[in-house]
Amino acid sequence: MSHHIFKKIILVGRPAAGKSEVIDFIKRTPLEERIRRFHIGEIVEFDDFLYVWQTFEDDDIWDKKLHKPRKNTSSDYYFYDHDIWNFFIHKINLAYAKEIARNKNLHETHTALIEFSRGGENGFAEAFSHLSDEILKDAGIVYISVSYEESVRKNRRRFRPEMADSILYHSLPDDKMEFYYKTNDWEKISNNQPSGYINIKGHNVPFVVLYNEPEVTDSDSKLGPALEKVFMELHNKFSK
């Protein structure tokens, strides 16, 4: 890794687990300090929430403006086809490929932060299997761990209807939380370990878990040291 900077961090967890708060904290940390403490350089983000929200908006245009059938979602915003979650992963793959095409030396200075949530029949194992080899190579995974009950609590807490399209303040109704995210396959694919490796399409991808219950993402004074520990452990796995 050039200059001891991570090339790619795949940041995953339940909705409202704390992913957006982690990214916000990292971005607010001055670059030199960020590299020293977290081994993260300049940041380029890839978050599939943007594609999810755009799908809802597109269907509203088809339905409410053009008076045509909705393409991917019902009128109460459930997806028709579960494979759309894998479609969103391929959108991330495409966005990353375009970024690399524009700057082949991107990772000399930049860390890609790739963020998404999964649950139910669309688990993390399935999502990981659709990530491109270009992303998986030299990538590390950070999983933010909270229980389903804590995810629901924090999801309700961050709800701001006037900012529903915001990365930090989007929220799901309780019925969608239960339908899409109540079950979770992370413990199965990680063997319920705090760190280790997951073999994905022949890539032995290291992972470390950030435990966020009790909550550490609600305070910079707690989050900074917690992230320093997690990223140092992840960095050490690349050194082996």
Q: Architecture of 2-18+40-215 per CATH?
A: 3-Layer(aba) Sandwich (3.40)
What is the model's pLDDT at position 120?
A: 83
What is the model's pLDDT at position 185?
A: 95
What is the model's pLDDT at position 108?
A: 95
- Prediction pTM value: 0.92
Phi and psi angles of residue 24, each rounded to the nearest 5 degrees, phi first: -60, -45
What is the model's pLDDT at position 177?
A: 85
Q: Domain spans of the chain?
A: 2-18+40-215
DSSP string, the chain: -GGG--SEEEEEESTTSSHHHHHHHHHHS-HHHHHHHH---EEEEEETHHHHHHHHHHHHIIIIIS----SSB-TTS-BS-TTHHHHHHHHHHHHHHHHHHH-TTGGGTEEEEEEE--BTTB-HHHHHHHS-HHHHTTEEEEEEE--HHHHHHHHHHT--GGGTT-TTT----HHHHHHHHSS--HHHHTTT-SEEEEEETTEEEEEEEEE-SS--TT-HHHHHHHHHHHHHHHHHHHH-
What is the model's pLDDT at position 106?
A: 97
Q: What is the C-alpha to C-alpha distance for residues 160 and 178, in angstroms, rounded to an integer? A: 20
Over the chain (240 residues), the average pLDDT of each successive run of 10 is 81 94 96 96 96 94 97 95 96 98 96 95 93 98 95 76 47 83 93 97 98 95 98 90
